[in-house]
Structure 1
């Protein structure tokens, strides 16, 4: 992978990282002949890999979220057919851990990702002294450079981290007594819905705060409707 030919014709964002409907429909992966269903599945698997590997390597959730956002943005501008999602996911997790000041050794990221990918299979763990590991490490480091180039070195995660935004919205809902602070079901399920949204390209469609507000409103409406039954 070479940074020189990384970015071809990138779709112009409407506002920073919010892409137009046309840009999303004509994504690089779609232009490479991938179906919409396959693209969604690739994104779901890649973000899921980040989540599970991040947990296994004990990376904080804020860093895991940042890694998922980096990956979603990367594939908003790049093709799954051109860049291996397994390598890109590892690079996003490694990069996000550094950005969030929770740095993790690269070998821990690589071994965790392999464990998640090959769970229950022979050769589940990769030998860090093997030639395979050396090739993987070099590929991940090269991918990290390509990710940085693609996302234009925009690494400030504070305004985009939906977990922080969601927590802030929840605290305000509790303060105004719209929801009960003892309503663990609402809080837990709301957080689960937020995490599920990070397995899609929703962060490329709407601003993070708008996504979180809509998720809160939708779940609150559904929760109240069920409570009346």
Structure 2
């Protein structure tokens, strides 16, 4: 199976960067493409798993191709189209394009070409080859719920922490965290961040043994505070986005 995780050096030396696109610009394109998938999926009543799968395809695609060669919005549509089929929530290509047109201005939609449906269908073949037909994607959501069931403490505070962590997972789709760490690691880190911000301190958990110094030691080995803080720092950049309304669509 392909290995989909990259270090910082790889993320700074992408095809887009080698094509003359600065890292900051590429990160903005990634965020805009991911946000577009989320907004389109929300308008089409697609679930969070389908949307997240589409976003992961999108991020993986641009580790092999340049944004200069493949405009972000049509790629985003293609990723959502494929994710819908994979997650068994299929939507017709023409319907996705119709929603896309309603969300984009004329200039941005012009990148879809003369025959948008044909463009998406052609791009789907390139996407499948690029992600090496590795279609099944795991997300932090399931791990978040699994881990939360093991934690002890005030149920109201725990629920608040989980909701906050869920929001952070939604927002993390607009970053490259899914290209850096496995979903279970992201789930632990964003629960850790949510716990700090919501002032929910985990002091006990089901299945605790003397060798477990933290609750996550039961699930993931070798998570250091340095690693948690690195992920939290990247997530903190988007923490204030908790305020915008788009989050509710993925809950």
TM (norm. structure 1) is 0.79
Unaligned 5+ runs, structure 1: 1-12, 127-131
In structure 1, the residue matched to 2:37 is 50
Q: For residues 41 and 50 of structure 1, what CA distance do their matches in structure 2 show?
A: 14
Superposed counterparts of 1:119-138, under 5 Å = 135-138=115-118
Q: CA deviation at 1:17?
A: 0.4
In structure 2, the residue matched to 1:30 is 17
Distance 1:168 1:136, change over 3 A: same
Q: For residues 154 and 9 of structure 2, what CA distance do their matches in structure 1 show?
A: 38
In structure 2, the residue matched to 1:223 is 198
Q: CA deviation at 1:179?
A: 5.6
Q: For residues 142 and 156 of structure 2, what CA distance do their matches in structure 1 show?
A: 17
Q: CA deviation at 1:207?
A: 1.2
Q: CA deviation at 1:203?
A: 0.8
Match of 1:92, SS state, is helix
Q: CA deviation at 1:37?
A: 1.1
What RMSD, in angstroms, separates the aligned Cα atoms of the two structures?
2.6
Structure scoring higher RCO (CA < 8 A, sep ≥ 6) equals 1
Unaligned 5+ runs, structure 2: 202-251
Is residue 210 from structure 1 mapped to residue 197 from structure 2 by the alignment?
no
In structure 2, the residue matched to 1:139 is 119
Aligned length in residues: 200
TM (norm. structure 2) is 0.73
TM-superposition CA deviations, 1:51-88 (whole Å, max 9, x none): 00011111122101110111011112221111111110
Residues 44 and 199 of structure 1 are in contact (CA less than 8 Å); yes or no, is this contact kept in structure 2? yes
